[in-house]
Amino acid sequence: MVDFAGWALPVEYTSVLKETKAVRTSCGLFDVSHMGEIRIQGPQALAFLQWLTSNDIARTIPGQLQYNLFLNEQAGIIDDAMIYHCADSFLCVVNASNCAKVYQWFVRNKTNGVEIIDESPATALLSLQGPHASAIIEKVFTDAVSDIGYMHFIECVFSGERVIVSRSGYTGEDGFEIYCNNQSALMLWDRIVTQGAFYGLTLCGLGARDILRIEAGYPLYGHEIDDNTNPLEASLEWAVKLNKECIGKQKLSMLNRENILRKRVGFMLTDRALARQGYALYSHNTVIGEVTSGTYSPNLNAFIGMGYVGREYSMLDTPITVKIRDTAYNAKITSFNFVAPHTKKAATRR
């Protein structure tokens, strides 16, 4: 066991913490090829996706990507995704655990003039995150790639193969996502590692990715959002546009701040304790919600987490306690993000 901030953590956790700090200070490279990529094309592709999503894809132009939600009839979240507006199609990047579910949802709602192609098996996805990501990507590709705007992408060529390079930053840092075919992935990985050596590039895993997204205050499917969670209680109302028709709109139109019973919140422990998913949250001796994600943040030297509480307990600085086994640990409600974002541009919520 190793002591972190007075808390004993497994030795194998030390590498995860080092990776996390490296992304905030220099740069980290992730293999996130487990994500799913489903392409929607055909003359009715836009209309099809507009009906299935909560955000307004019509407000994007080719070369832009948009955070979006697929909703069911009760406004529950089937999945959250990044949707890339390509020249003649839309690429939906979905969570790995939901790829088959989303694909079947597409097929079930398919209309004439729409073609659905699951490109996941043939697609590799690498992610470069951190302050030096731009400098590294420029050496791997060209100046034009490093100049991509936030939530934009370009298609270019690497070793004779077409790749997509986008700039979003799911860690809260400036970051690039690179989509290529499986045959090109190893060569591209080696090229990034070689060019990144000068900048202190660190190879990172999913453990570091999870800590970084919690520090950034971003939800993860299966933790903060699922089929029974609606966008308003998940604090994702910015990704909902009711100026169009979509599945779940009728239910969403009935929801407002007054009839939402719970809210997703961030919290920081003032005692030293590691909150885990499913732990109960209390106000005095009353259960008011539960933890959905929790971690030790090496960049804040603090124990943080996210969860759902009754709406009346969601105000900033509200004192709460986390029940861990038979002991209550003190915490307080905080705002998102825990770590200030350093993306190319502050998130533009379209």
- Residue 90 phi/psi, 5-degree rounding, is -130, 130
- Rounded Cα distance between 6 and 99, Å, is 40
Q: pLDDT higher for 157 or 11?
A: 157
Q: By three-state DSSP, how is residue 307 classified?
A: strand
Report whether pLDDT(210) > 60.
yes
Judge contact between 41 and 28, C-beta under 8 A: no
Whether residue 284 has pLDDT greater than 70: yes
| Res 6 pLDDT > 80 | no
Which carries the bigger pLDDT value, residue 118 or residue 259? 118
pLDDT at 345 over 70: no
Helix axes 13-25, 206-215, angle to 10 degrees: 60
pLDDT above 70 covers what percent of the chain? 94
- Joined together, the tokens standing for residue 277 give 């998913």
Q: How many CB atoms lie within 10 A of CB 11?
A: 8
Compute the mean pLDDT over every residue in the chain, rounded to the nearest whole number.
93
DSSP state letters, 133-160: HHHHHHHHS-HHHHTPPTTEEEEEEETT
Burial tier of 310 (Cβ tally within 10 Å: 0-12, 13-18, 19+)? middle
Q: For residues 147 and 141, what is the distance between their CA atoms, to the nearest angstrom? A: 11
Q: Which pLDDT does position 1 carry in this prediction?
A: 46
Token code pair at residue 340: 């200030």
Q: Average pLDDT in the 141-168 region?
A: 91
Domain ranges of the chain: 27-200+230-258, 259-334
Tens digit of pLDDT for each residue in 261-277?
999 999 999 999 999 99
pLDDT (mean) for 139-168: 91
CATH fold of 259-334: Elongation Factor Tu (Ef-tu); domain 3 (2.40.30)
Through-space distance between the first and last CA atoms of the chain, rounded to whole angstroms: 46
Q: Which carries the bigger pLDDT value, residue 3 or residue 239?
A: 239
pLDDT-derived band of residue 347, with 50, 70 and 90 as boundaries? very low
**Six token digits for residue 84:** 């890339």
Q: How far apart are CA 265 and CA 200, in angstroms?
A: 34
Instruction: Summarize pLDDT for 73-131 with one digit per residue, the tens.
Output: 999 999 999 999 999 999 999 999 999 999 999 999 999 999 999 999 999 999 999 99
Q: Which fold has domain 27-200+230-258?
A: Gyrase A; domain 2 (3.30.1360)
User: Which residue did the predictor score with more confidence, 118 or 157?
Assistant: 118
Q: Does residue 257 carry a pLDDT above 80?
A: no
User: Could you report the per-residue pLDDT of 10-52, keeping only the tens digit for each?
Assistant: 555 788 989 999 999 999 999 999 999 999 999 999 999 999 9
What pLDDT is stored for residue 12 in this prediction? Answer: 59
Of 39-43, 163-167, 298-302, where does mean pLDDT reach its minimum?
Answer: 298-302
- Residue of 335 and 152 predicted with greater confidence: 152
pLDDT band, very low/low/confident/very high, at 3 (cuts 50, 70, 90) = low
Q: In the prediction, which pLDDT does 350 show?
A: 27
Q: What is the pLDDT of residue 87?
A: 95
Q: Is 317 left (phi over 0), alpha (psi -120 to 50) or beta?
A: left
Per the DSSP assignment, residues forming a β-bridge with 268 are: 304, 332
Contacts of 245 (CB under 8 A, 6+ apart): 50, 51
- Rounded Cα gap, residues 304 and 269, in angstroms: 6
